Structure 1
Amino acid sequence: MRALVFKRYGKPDQVGFADQSRPKPRPDEILVQVHTAGLNPIDNMIPKGTFKPILRFKLPATLGSDVAGVVVEIGSRVTRFKPGDEVFASIFDLGTGTLAEFAVVPESAAALKPPNLDFVQAASIPMVGLTSWQALKERARLKPGQKVFIPAGSGGIGTFAIQVAKYLGAKVGTTTSTGNVGLVRSLGADEVIDYTKQQFEDVLRDYDAVLGTVRGDAIEKSLRILKPGSAVVSLVGPPDAAFARARSMNFVLVLLFGLLSGKIIRHARKRGVEYSFLFVRPDGSQLAELGELLKAETIRPVIDKVFPFEQAKQALAYLEKGRSRGKVVVQMR
């Protein structure tokens, strides 16, 4: 089968197509014929070695985490799925990839595709959906009436996180460019800052939570808009010691991540704010819950652009520019 792989860390020219043998599912896995694969920013970071100390891959490794397709084979212990089922899933952090003609998926990570979504729409959901759910509902414990700041509202994570926050009953503040103000308002954003005209930290006040999605000094600036007792959940780092301990990392990495996150944690504590770093985990049951919201059209996918499989490298390059309105998807079939 054809797959988009990276052979070594650090150089873009190490990413390319390769022929691989079709994988065999283990007893608790399903084999999915991939119709579409959703792209995420981390798909560009992994080959550069950004997460090399955290994510383990056997090289050459297939890229991609999000998948939508049809089950063609099941393991001996699988009970929830059968051949012919249309499914979607995230297999992030499991050591395998989805930018291939076939992908193995743990039964626990998969969910039935909502029938009202096509494969392109379904593949756009898993990582951003699970990230939004785990960050806002589990980690930030967002409650009705609270205010959450979700920067970069027109991006892949932003378009979905805004909708999850509104479903949870929160008021949402976001940033975007002039041309995307209408889009984020249509998704439910209450306070919209056009970053070409204003700085969010000069306008927003008394927020209960921040979803950290933008690198640089954006998280430190966001501390100014938060109330005491609020939370910052960062998706972009720096990783903290609690994250390292949860992954059973060695003492050196626990210490290193503690040092890397020390500055932002100290600044947060001075304002009575809790900082934490989140790495999304695959979860088929949560994906099924999101599927019900998608089926009811409480939440909708936002697709920016679809690339054919043979242009997967161009799709990754397009995503890396950071200008997409919603998700970028690669279509195999």
Structure 2
Amino acid sequence: MSKAVRFTEYGGLAALRVEEVARPVPGAGQVLVRVRAAGINPVEAAILTGFFAEHWPATLPAGLGSDVAGVVEEVGADVAGFGVGEEVLGFTHTFELGRGSFAEFVVVEAAELVRKPAGVPWEAAGALFVAGTAAYAAVRAVGVAEGDTVVVAGAAGGVGSLAVQLAREAGATVLGLASERHHAWLTDHGIVPVPYGPGVADRIRAAAGGKVDAFVDTVGEGYVELALELGVVPDRIDTIIDFAAAARHGVRTEGNLQAATADVLAELVGRVDKGLLEVPIEASYPLDRVRDAFEHLARGHNRGKIVLVP
């Protein structure tokens, strides 16, 4: 037997349980991973409320969690690329496979795993997939290039903290909208911090010293309209959250789904290993405190990711 997070009904954290379940068995093309770290994401909080129930109906009780890093415990038939004892990171799809990574053991498709470099911490590896691929897709969507000035809203959050670094690596001047307690971190990473709040458009113009070329929105709450006010053309605005505004104004909505591949994950973890990309970890929680972890996430203004460590 092993422990796994399950939710028994839609409605929120009260439905979350840590239960004893049978240890999963990998099938053909699958790998059993002993989980060392699994990042939690806003999408999982939305799943709990039933927000996605119409599009991705779950058979309850269901597992939860996509991000995963751990050690190969067992391999199924037809798996040639991984061996027992190897350190890996990857992703799993809760609704498609009836399982989730918030568990001591999880079965993952071998095609959705990559090897973890020895120098990459478990928490960083286990928090990389959802936020990292969303950041990668968003920066790519707005065509960030050498000499651009790019604004990222939510610049210290799970996705934003990675997007600012990827845009900076591409040669852009990056302005990061964030709470003041995160400004030192942004400055240390070559980002120009800009406070939220009334007058933000004027502060962005002053910090940019000219035109803004691209805008990545990870927050919602009117930032698509702010980007348009700043003169950014719709084709160079990407929001990963405000789909209503995107529909109104014809801006891009590329995020995790557009870059959710093992190849992209391998590229990102390679950057982490080389010291080109930092995955900030706000906090780590044991599996038994999964509700506390989600409550921490809901408080907002976090720097980077919150991670479960079974």
Using structure 2 for the length normalisation, give the TM-score.
0.89
Q: Which amino acid aligns with 2:229?
A: R
Which contiguous aligned blocks of 4+ residues in structure 1 show a shift greater than 4 angstroms?
92-95
**Superposition deviation, residue 101 in structure 1:** 0.8
Match of 2:196 in 1: 195
Distance 1:197 1:185, change over 3 A: farther
Q: Any gaps of 5 or more consecutive residues in structure 2?
A: none
Q: Deviations over 1:10-46 (max 9, x none)?
A: 2432111122222222212211000111111112111
Instruction: State the SS of the aligned residue for 1:61.
Output: coil
1:295 maps to 273
Q: Report whether the alignment pairs 1:313 with 2:291.
A: yes
SS at match of 2:135: helix
RMSD over aligned CA atoms reads 2.1
Distance (whole Å) between structure 2 residues aligned to residue 58 and residue 153 of structure 1: 36
Does structure 1 conserve the Cα–Cα contact (< 8 Å) formed by 2:30 and 2:76?
yes
Aligned length: 302
Task: Identify the residue that residue 108 of structure 2 maps to in structure 1.
Answer: 105
* Cα distance in 1 between the residues matched to 2:145 and 2:77: 42
1:18 matched residue in structure 2: 19
The aligned runs of 1:32-181 (5 Å cut-off) are 32-92=33-93, 94-95=96-97, 96-137=99-140, 139-181=141-183
Q: Secondary structure at the match of 2:263?
A: helix
User: What SS is found at the alignment partner of 1:53?
Assistant: coil
| Distance (whole Å) between structure 1 residues aligned to residue 260 and residue 106 of structure 2 | 15
Change in Cα spacing, 1:30 to 1:201, as seen in structure 2 (3 Å) is farther
Partner of 1:285: 263
Q: Using a 3 Å threshold, how does the CA distance of structure 1 residues 146 and 53 change in structure 2: closer, same or farther?
A: farther
Contact 2:154–2:217 (CA under 8 A) maintained in structure 1: no
- Which blocks of at least 5 consecutive residues in structure 1 are unaligned? 239-260, 269-273
Question: Percent identity, aligned pairs only?
Answer: 27
Distance in 2 of aligned mates of 1:313 and 1:101: 16
Q: Does 1:212 align with 2:204?
A: no
Q: Residue type of the partner of 1:148? A: V
Whole-angstrom distance in 2 between the partners of 1:52 and 1:212: 25
Partner in structure 1 of residue 249 of structure 2: 267
The residue type equivalent to 1:22 in the other structure is R
Task: Report the AA paired with residue 172 of structure 1.
Answer: V
Contact 1:208 1:230 in 2 (8 A): no
